[in-house]
Amino acid sequence: MIRVASVGECMLELQARGTGWHLGHAGDTFNTLWMLRAVLPPGAEADFVTAFGDDPFSEQQRDFMAAQGIGTATSPRLPGLRPGLYAITLDAAGERSFSYWRSDSAARRLADDPAALRLSLAGRDLIHVSGITLAILTPEARRVLRDELARAREGGALVAFDPNWRPALWQSPEAARAAMNDLLAICDIALPSWPDEGTLFGDVGPEACCRRLLSLGVPEVALKLGADGAMIAAPGTPGQRIPARADVTPRDTTGAGDGFNGAYLAARLEGHPPAVAAQLANRMAAEVIGVYGALAEPEALRRCWAEAERDLAPRDR
């Protein structure tokens, strides 16, 4: 049985719909786990590792996850705290902008109990974490998380990391670079985005970004290029561009990169080589941007996945 976990923050999501708002649940690492849970084989175990408050919205989140077959491992419930909140507004092209309320989010305390975190991460085949996860934690909590990820990796887990730089969450670019490089040192699969990486690290192009990450000892890189698809790289292998679908009209680009991450990781767990995994992930990201909000319906994702595997895997494996 495949056992995966994703570590981070699931927020309340307000989507503008006409003259009103729709309430949902989302966050980068949760969105990735949502995709993983949808497309991995039946019986796979998927847990979201975080910290919850004790308010009605926190209970609603837990109920929502349980209804979708997503566990919460030993994630604590913390008295007096609540989920973070963000609102999405869209322009005519489907591009989004965000407003956040997360300063007292319970998820900021997800690494306060190292023993509980250790139990949540034990026995995993794959653990996914992001730069947003790092950014919402204190420096001490980041060290705890990093240590527990390293322990889980020693136990056989693959660690996947999406740097997902959000400048407003960090004290400085220098702090972000230091924390990310520390995590990359124990990372098996890096899932960065361009041009964010160039802005933060000064890479002159996607190829340079891949070379930098490989030089840090990362064994596998899947660099997201937005509408241009992706680039994959490994030691001794130059960056290979994998084009995106050209026949897609986005409705809402929220969660596209997270959907790519989840699909790519699922494909790698199922044994598809990186080039095929990136093609499958591009197809699934196109499915995500065809719906409002970050989470497409699981049944629609499973149908798309099955069609993509039929189209791509037999030809390219």
Q: Distance (Å, rounded) from C-alpha 88 to C-alpha 16? A: 6
End-to-end CA distance of the chain: 23
Q: Distance (Å, rounded) from C-alpha 149 to C-alpha 133? A: 13
How deeply is 27 buried, as exposed, middle or buried, from its count of CB atoms within 10 A (0-12, 13-18, 19+)?
buried
Give CA separation, 104 vs 9, 48, 88, 118, 245, in Å. 12, 19, 20, 24, 40
258 is a catalytic site residue: yes
Q: Which of 47, 196, 258, 311 is catalytic?
A: 258
Phi and psi torsions of 195, nearest 5°? -100, 10
Q: Distance (Å, rounded) from C-alpha 164 to C-alpha 169? A: 11
DSSP state letters, 79-118: TT-B--EEEEEE-TTS-EEEEEE-TTBGGGGTTS-HHHHH
- For the sheet with 126-130, list strands across it: 45-49, 3-7, 126-130, 158-162, 189-190, 220-224, 230-234, 237-242
The interaxial angle of helices 298-316 and 28-39, nearest 10 deg, is 70
Give the helix/strand (H/E) hosting 224: strand 220-224
Non-local (6+) Cβ contacts of 122 within 8 A are 152, 155
Q: Point out the residues that are catalytic.
A: 258
